[in-house]
Structure 1
Amino acid sequence: MVDVVLPVLDEAEALPWVLGRMPDGHRAIVADNGSSDGSPEVAARHGAHVVHAPVRGFGAACWAGLQAARADVVCFMDCDGSLDPQDLGLVLEPLLAGEADMVLGARIPERGAWPWHARVANRALARELRRRSGIALTDLGPMRAMGRRELLALGVEDRRFGWPLEMVLRAARDGWRIAERPVPYRARSGRSKVTGTPLGTARAVRDMLGVLREVDLRARGGVDVRG
């Protein structure tokens, strides 16, 4: 069994397609972050385990889903229809084969699937991630897989958009073997709350830069407020 955490904020339109394509042996955990469009009810009707994350923030939703997970292996993926659950096997394969401790899906976008501002921001953040971790990553990877207990032990504390970046930095610090596998990236259903506009992208980048600043502070011997 694999638990798949799906952070959700107003994704009622995409949920039936995403949940309907969940592979056998994968339990969908929808972590609702305060939807007003009936997403929790839609998710429940389509067989997902629904948990609520009342504190707003992407990381807060991911954390709530992780707390509800019970399987030895946990995956995370966006629930907007841009990623196909049928591709989870691509990122799970190196992990299950014992070749990696964390695997990120490097997005291969179809035409129109990735706004220019989001792509530029991702490229810049991936470059900073490579510089600090020494790992040759090209994408922050919204589809990813790792061991549940191992992830909990990392102590990731960011509860906003810095969550995925901090996860990788902490894993690299602890010597995890981190790999990438290409995954198709489709045009999402509806408008993105994160990177659908330049302002949304700027907010995500702001949170991630905060994580990077703390890494730099730690490297200079300063106080690490994340522990």
Structure 2
Amino acid sequence: MTGSDATNPHVTVDVVLPCLNEEAALGWVLGRMPEGYRPIVVDNGSTDRSAAVARDLGAEVVHEPRRGFGAACHAGLLASSAEVVCFMDADASLDPAQLPRVAGAVLGGGSDLVLGRRVPRTAGAWPLHARLGNAVLAANLRRRTGASLRDLGPMRAARRSALLALGLSDRRFGYPLEMVLRAAAQGWRIEEIDVDYLPRAGRSKVTGTVRGTLRAISDMRGVMAATRPR
């Protein structure tokens, strides 16, 4: 790192983008990446041209053959080299231009983990059943961690060395939840920043199918049971 200001163009922040068949969205996502934020697209077995498109647009591409959201996220974390690492979805539901909002408090030393709280900007951006499920999960997190969280936001930032020290083990949909639980158990300063939530490109692998939704619920229940509260 060459600075601590999120608006400094010389600051380098690595941005991990787990990717499964997001060819249609990557152009918009990578085209809006802020200066100083380096995208790492983790291809998790795509059958479209996601990897080629990402590479052509200048992103570093990492191939993670083990299927699973957590597997892709962790492969990107291991491939990163910046002091601060961000995570976000590659489906155009989140605007990379807002990454400095999320990374700012980590870069400045005021927070250890910052999550982007999703604020829907259109009626169809966040299905009601998914929003209700997220609200229940956030309530459980508040009770378990004491952190004032209203969303398990997929756009987030933390320091690379600290994330690696957490010893995250889930490699499926429980990875983002395990990160928050383990961070809280270690006494991290956790905060939430509002970010726009937009209609994604294509169908969600989680909320778009019954199978995906049930798998995510199962993974998160397992993480909740296995992670000791603070």
Report the TM-score when normalising by structure 1. 0.93
3-state SS, counterpart of residue 182 of structure 1: strand
Q: Over aligned residue pairs, what C-alpha RMSD do you find? A: 0.9
Deviates more, 1:120-129 or 1:140-149: 120-129
Aligned residues of 1:18 and 1:85 also touching (Cα < 8 A): yes
- The alpha-carbon deviation at position 95 of structure 1 amounts to 1.3
CA distance in 2, matches of 1:159, 1:88: 24
1:86 aligns with 2:97: yes
1:225 corresponds in structure 2 to none
Residues 57-206 of structure 1: pairs in structure 2 closer than 5 A: 57-110=68-121, 111-206=123-218
1:223 corresponds in structure 2 to none
- The alpha-carbon deviation at position 194 of structure 1 amounts to 1.6
3-state SS, counterpart of residue 13 of structure 1: helix
Q: Which consecutive segments of 4 or more residues in structure 1 shift more than 3 A? A: none
**Match of 1:35, as an amino acid?**
S
CA distance in 1, matches of 2:192, 2:141: 14
- The alpha-carbon deviation at position 195 of structure 1 amounts to 1.5
- The alpha-carbon deviation at position 79 of structure 1 amounts to 0.5
**Deviations 1:85-112 (CA, angstroms, capped at 9, x unpaired):** 0000111121122110010000001221
CA distance in 2, matches of 1:23, 1:213: 38
CA distance in 2, matches of 1:60, 1:199: 19
Aligned residues of 1:121 and 1:201 also touching (Cα < 8 A): no
1:41 corresponds in structure 2 to 52
**Deviations 1:159-190 (CA, angstroms, capped at 9, x unpaired):** 00000000000000001000000000000011
- The alpha-carbon deviation at position 73 of structure 1 amounts to 0.4
CA distance in 2, matches of 1:75, 1:93: 11
3-state SS, counterpart of residue 23 of structure 2: coil
Q: Which runs of 5+ in 2 are unaligned?
A: 1-11
Question: Which of 40, 45, 50 is the matching residue for 2:61?
Answer: 50
Aligned residues of 1:103 and 1:144 also touching (Cα < 8 A): yes
CA distance in 2, matches of 1:76, 1:209: 22
**Match of 2:157, as an amino acid?**
A
CA distance in 2, matches of 1:158, 1:117: 24
Count the aligned residue pairs.
217
CA distance in 1, matches of 2:62, 2:199: 26
Question: Which of 23, 33, 37 is the matching residue for 1:22?
Answer: 33
- The alpha-carbon deviation at position 199 of structure 1 amounts to 3.1
State the percentage of identical aligned residues.
Answer: 63
- The alpha-carbon deviation at position 125 of structure 1 amounts to 0.9
Q: Which runs of 5+ in 1 are unaligned?
A: 220-227
3-state SS, counterpart of residue 209 of structure 1: helix
CA distance in 2, matches of 1:24, 1:136: 31
3-state SS, counterpart of residue 181 of structure 1: strand
Report the TM-score when normalising by structure 2. 0.92
3-state SS, counterpart of residue 191 of structure 1: coil
